[in-house]
Amino acid sequence: MRVKRRKSCGVRTATDAPTRNVSNSPELGPLWVKLAGAGVRPTRQRLELAEILFGQGERHFTAEMVYAEARSLRYPPSLGTVYNTLNQFVQSGLLREIAFYDSKLWYDTNTGPHSHYYWEDTDELSDIPIEHIPQLNVPAPPGAKVTAVDVIVRVRSDEAHGECPMARFEQFLK
């Protein structure tokens, strides 16, 4: 018995859609170009998460923070999808992963070498200005080489000051 197929009524299917070569064409959007340039297939969900991550400049976040922001999307991703996407972005060099010894993973859109303050009382991460970072020359053990030196300075607001520690930090940077 032969099965009749209905016409598609103008809806394109994967088999009749034109093939698209991965290019870095600016008409495709900067996030599409960023993902494709890093070897990441720019799917709808990845592009939506990339907008959340990279659309606000350099920032620090956890997967749970991204998940909370993504819940406002028309088709919000699951927490597992957020974790998988963040891991893929780390593997492709789009994000930097920052692991604390208390098992909390943070992510940073600034992938270059730099150090961080971790604000214990507000659970925030911020960059330490480069002029305040000492030059560390740490020798590698025999048979190894140093690939990076990550410095995280844990800070807590001074009880004597009543204002927000991040507000004081912003003044400190000026």
Question: What are the pLDDT digits (tens) for 43-53?
Answer: 999 999 999 99
Shared domain for 91 and 129, answered yes or no, is no
Q: Is 123 within a domain? A: yes
Per the structure, the complete domain to which residue 118 belongs is given by 113-139+148-174
Q: Are residues 34 and 48 located together in one domain of the fold?
A: yes
What global pTM score does this model have?
0.72
Total of domains in the chain: 2
* pLDDT computed for residue 9 by the predictor: 39
**Mean pLDDT confidence for 33-54:** 94
Q: Is residue 88 part of a domain?
A: yes
- Specify the higher pLDDT residue, 105 or 1: 105
pLDDT at 161: 59
| Residues 65 and 128 grouped into a single domain | no
Q: Are 124 and 60 in contact (CB under 8 A)?
A: yes
pLDDT confidence of 164, banded at 50, 70, 90?
low
| CATH number for the domain harbouring residue 101 | 1.10.10.10
Does position 18 have pLDDT exceeding 80, yes or no? no
Question: Is the separation of the CB atoms in 94 and 32 below 8 Å?
Answer: no
The answer on pLDDT for 173 being more than 60 is no
Task: Determine the average pLDDT of the residues in 23-40.
Answer: 80
pLDDT over 90 at 101, yes or no: no
* For residues 158-163, average pLDDT: 65
- pLDDT at position 174 is 54
- Co-location of 85 and 126 in the same domain: no
Same domain membership, residue 69 and residue 120: no
Same domain, 77 and 129: no
